[in-house]
Amino acid sequence: MRKMMLSAALLFFTAAGFAQQLEPVKIDSLVTVSLPASYNKVDTLDQQVYSANSDLGYMVVVKATEDNNKPLEKENDLNKVMDNYVDNFKHQYKDASAQNVRDTTVGPLKAKAFTLEYRADDSSVQFKNFVLLYTTGASYFFQYAYPSMRSDVVGNELKTFLSSIKVSPQLSRTDQYLSNDKGMSPVVKTGLIAGGSLLVVALVVVWMNKRKQAIA
């Protein structure tokens, strides 16, 4: 029994220290990521999907152009797009919850990272780690999936995969959104100020009428 426990422990620590060799793959002229050499690529009219099994997890990279991404006006617009992506992924899986949702960066670009926990058809708990990247040319989705039983051993490979995401120096903030202004647009501000002024005038008129009625 003791020998079996020692053997199991040895296998565990061996797996924990092992990460399959990943090699750089050009998704296009602007984005690169590292994958196992035996990756598969499926190319359709508006999507490119790269996928690969490692000894510990499953990696998927999607370049999507079907939405014909347009320049967004402000950072808040980008945040809304990213939040919508997170919700869409969450709704694709049974009993899914998005954990540790956070802003991150890939080079000069803003990205969204999170971990999706869900239950597979056999009721086992599964995890998918995502990094989402939006540009005017395309959206990129990077995913590393693994069963919960491997949570303690995938760390090195997961980190290697996610940290390998690189973007061209040709890309900048304006490839995501145009204005640094985080407030409201001038049109909205003018509307709110005008509406607020009208509200104040209306309240004053009502107060004056009530006052006259009280005096009478």
Residues 119-167 pLDDT 10s = 988 889 999 999 999 999 999 999 999 999 999 999 999 999 999 999 9
Least confident of 26-35, 86-95, 207-216: 207-216
Between 95 and 9, residue with greater pLDDT? 95
pLDDT at 17 over 70: no
Give the per-residue pLDDT at 186: 52
pLDDT at 5 over 50: no
Give the per-residue pLDDT at 61: 98
Q: Residue 183: pLDDT band by 50, 70, 90 thresholds?
A: low
- Taking the C-alpha atoms of residue 153 and residue 159, their distance in angstroms, rounded to an integer, is 11
Between 87 and 201, residue with greater pLDDT? 87
HEC string for the chain: CHHHHHHHHHHHHHHHCCCCCCEEEECCCCEEEEECCCCEEEECCCEEEEEEECCCCEEEEEEECCCCCCCECCHHHHHHHHHHHHHHHHCCCCCCEEEEEEEEEECCEEEEEEEEEEECCCCCEEEEEEEEEECCCCEEEEEEEEEHHHCCCCHHHHHHHHHCCEECCCCCHHHCECCCCCCCCHHHHHHHHHHHHHHHHHHHHHHHHHHHHHHC
- Taking the C-alpha atoms of residue 159 and residue 157, their distance in angstroms, rounded to an integer, is 5
Give the per-residue pLDDT at 121: 86
pTM over 0.95: no
Least confident of 52-61, 134-143, 183-192: 183-192
Kindly state the average pLDDT of the residues 101-105: 97
The structure tokens listed for 140 are: 């990129």
Mean pLDDT rounded to a whole number for the chain: 81
Residue 16 one-letter amino acid: A
- Taking the C-alpha atoms of residue 56 and residue 158, their distance in angstroms, rounded to an integer, is 9
Q: What percent of the chain has pLDDT over 70?
A: 73
